[in-house]
A and B are shown apart, each in its own frame.
Chain A
Amino acid sequence: MTDENNDQLDENILHLIETDARLTYTEIAQKLSSTESQVKSRIEELIKLKIIRKYTTIIDWEKFGKESYTAWVEIDLHPQAELGYDEIARKIGNHSSVQSIHLVSGTYDLVLVVKADKMRDITQLIADILAPFPDVRDTNTHFILRIYKENGEMMYEDRELLRGPFSP
Chain B
Amino acid sequence: MLSDRAKAVPPSGIRKYFDIAAKMENVISLGIGEPDFKTPSTILQAGVQSLLDGHTAYTSNAGMIELRELLAENIQTRYGVHYDPDKELLITVGGSEALDLAIRAIINPGDEVIVPEPCFVAYKPDVILAGGVPIPTPTFFHDDFQLSTDYVNATITDNTKALLFSYPNNPTGAVMSRERLLELADLVDKEDMLVISDEIYDRLVYGIDHVCFAALPNMQRRTILIGGFSKTYAMTGWRIGYIAAPAEIMEGIYKIHQYGVMCAPTPAQHAAVEALKHGDNYVSQMVAEYDRRRRLIVDGLNNLGLDCFEPRGAFYAFPSIIKTGMDDTEFAKRLLLEEKVALVPGSAFGESGKGFMRCSYATSYEKIEEALHRMEKFMNRYG
A165 touching B31 by the CB < 8 A rule?
yes
A163 touching B32 by the CB < 8 A rule?
yes
Chain B hits for A168, CB < 8 A = 12, 14, 33, 120-122, 170, 348
A102 within 8 A of partner (CB): no
Which of these, B12, B22, B295, contacts A165 with CB under 8 Å?
A: B22
- Docked Cα-Cα span, A165 to B344, in Å, equals 11
Contact with B along A134-168 (1 / 0, CB 8 A): 00000000000000000000000000010111111
Chain A hits for B31, CB < 8 A = 165-167
Contact with B along A22-41 (1 / 0, CB 8 A): 00000000110000000000
Number of interface residues of B (CB under 8 A): 25
Chain A hits for B14, CB < 8 A = 166-168
Shortest Cβ distance from B336 into A: residue: A165
Minimum CB–CB distance for A28 against chain B, Å: 11
B197 within 8 A of partner (CB): no
CB within 8 Å of B: which of A92-123? none
A31 touching B288 by the CB < 8 A rule?
yes
B292 touching A31 by the CB < 8 A rule?
yes
A30 touching B37 by the CB < 8 A rule?
no
Which of these, B21, B36, B120, contacts A166 with CB under 8 Å?
A: B21
B320 within 8 A of partner (CB): no
* Majority SS at the chain A contact face: loop
CB within 8 Å of A: which of B7-51? 12, 14, 17-18, 21-22, 27, 29, 31-34, 36-38
Chain B hits for A164, CB < 8 A = 18, 22, 32
Shortest Cβ distance from B36 into A: residue: A161
Chain A hits for B21, CB < 8 A = 165-166
A166 touching B292 by the CB < 8 A rule?
no
CB within 8 Å of A: which of B270-298? 288, 292, 295
- Looking at A161, A165, A167, A168, which has the most chain B CB atoms within 10 Å of its CB? A168
- Docked Cα-Cα span, A31 to B287, in Å, equals 11
> What's the A-B contact tally at a CB cutoff of 8 Å?
43
B205 within 8 A of partner (CB): no
Chain A hits for B342, CB < 8 A = 165-166
- Looking at A163, A164, A165, which has the most chain B CB atoms within 10 Å of its CB? A165
Chain A hits for B33, CB < 8 A = 167-168
Minimum CB–CB distance for B120 against chain A, Å: 7
- Docked Cα-Cα span, A127 to B347, in Å, equals 75
B27 touching A163 by the CB < 8 A rule?
no
Chain B hits for A161, CB < 8 A = 36-38
- Docked Cα-Cα span, A98 to B295, in Å, equals 46
Chain B hits for A167, CB < 8 A = 14, 31-34
Chain B hits for A31, CB < 8 A = 288, 292
- Docked Cα-Cα span, A161 to B342, in Å, equals 18
B36 touching A163 by the CB < 8 A rule?
yes
Minimum CB–CB distance for B56 against chain A, Å: 23
Shortest Cβ distance from B15 into A: residue: A166
- Docked Cα-Cα span, A5 to B131, in Å, equals 60
Chain A hits for B292, CB < 8 A = 30-31
Minimum CB–CB distance for B184 against chain A, Å: 25
Shortest Cβ distance from B358 into A: residue: A168
- Docked Cα-Cα span, A167 to B288, in Å, equals 23
- Docked Cα-Cα span, A30 to B29, in Å, equals 24
Shortest Cβ distance from A30 into B: residue: B292
Shortest Cβ distance from B295 into A: residue: A30
Shortest Cβ distance from B121 into A: residue: A168
Q: With A161-B37, A161-B38 in contact, do A166 and B29 touch (Cβ < 8 Å)? A: yes
A163-B32, A164-B18, A168-B33 are known; give 12 further A-B pairs, CB within 8 A: A30-B295, A31-B288, A161-B37, A161-B38, A163-B34, A163-B36, A165-B21, A165-B29, A165-B342, A166-B18, A167-B33, A168-B170
Subset of 23 A-B contacts with CB under 8 Å: A30-B292, A30-B295, A31-B288, A31-B292, A161-B36, A161-B37, A161-B38, A164-B22, A164-B32, A165-B18, A165-B21, A165-B22, A165-B31, A166-B14, A166-B17, A166-B18, A166-B342, A166-B344, A167-B14, A167-B34, A168-B120, A168-B121, A168-B122
Residues of B within 8 A of A (CB): 12, 14, 17-18, 21-22, 27, 29, 31-34, 36-38, 120-122, 170, 288, 292, 295, 342, 344, 348
CB-based closest 6 A-B pairs: A165-B21, A165-B29, A166-B31, A166-B18, A168-B121, A167-B33
